[in-house]
């Protein structure tokens, strides 16, 4: 049992860092293979792993963690098409600046969006983790909303194979 919890935590942490790993498929497979596994233990280990993994993105967006040099963009001499639409002086850029100022003035407004994202996955949890860091959301609020949403999501997901099998 402890090995399954450790494996689940590791896969959840890895899927938080590398979006190509599907924790949802892992949880469904785990609970279908070992149906006597407690759904709330699976939900808790996935929630802790996911939130700890996304905490790295959160801290990087806040500027507390400095990314390695190879992850930085290299400046190019010619302007891209995106700069014509989103660059300085455009309406979208001014709108983005206004939103950035509002988010900085009210960082906990992001709590609702982050909590909904943690629960249902829309908007993507990775994106809201980065936005929460950019908005200056407190670490405690980030962890609390992420843990509650992820725990509820993955506890229900872990219980679903047993519920479906009970119907048949």
Q: How confident is the model at residue 166 (pLDDT cuts 50, 70, 90)?
A: confident
Domain range holding 104? 92-109+123-167
Q: Do residues 47 and 96 share a domain?
A: no
What's the number of domains the chain is made of? 2
Among all chains, which residue has been given the structure tokens 């660059």? 87
CB neighbour list of residue 133: distance below 8 Å, 6 or more residues apart? 57, 58, 59, 60, 61, 62, 142
Q: Do residues 37 and 101 share a domain?
A: no
Task: Quote the pTM value.
Answer: 0.82
Omega before 36 within 30 of 0, i.e. cis: no
Kindly report the backbone phi and psi dihedral angles of residue 72, in degrees, each rounded to the nearest multiple of 5, phi listed first. -80, 145
pLDDT tens profile 14-45: 999 998 999 999 999 999 898 888 999 999 99
Sign of CA dihedral 123, 127, 133, 136: negative
pLDDT tens profile 66-99: 878 877 767 666 666 666 666 676 766 676 677 6
Q: Do residues 55 and 96 share a domain?
A: no
């Amino acid at each position: 049992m402890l090995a399954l919890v450790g494996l689940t935590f590791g896969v959840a942490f890895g899927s938080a860092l590398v979006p190509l790993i599907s924790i949802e498929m892992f949880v469904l497979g785990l609970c279908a293979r070992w149906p006597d596994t407690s759904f709330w233990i699976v939900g808790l280990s996935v929630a802790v792993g996911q939130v700890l993994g996304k905490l790295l993105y959160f801290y990087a967006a806040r500027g507390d963690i400095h990314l390695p040099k190879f992850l930085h963009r290299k400046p190019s001499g010619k302007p891209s098409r995106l700069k014509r639409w989103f660059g300085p002086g455009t309406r979208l850029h001014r709108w983005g600046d206004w939103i950035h100022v509002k988010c900085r003035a009210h960082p906990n407004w992001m709590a609702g969006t982050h909590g909904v994202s943690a629960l249902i996955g829309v908007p993507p949890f990775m994106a809201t983790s980065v936005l929460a860091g950019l908005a200056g959301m407190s670490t405690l609020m980030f962890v609390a909303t992420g843990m509650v949403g992820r725990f509820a999501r993955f506890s229900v997901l872990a219980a679903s194979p047993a519920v479906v099998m009970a119907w048949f």
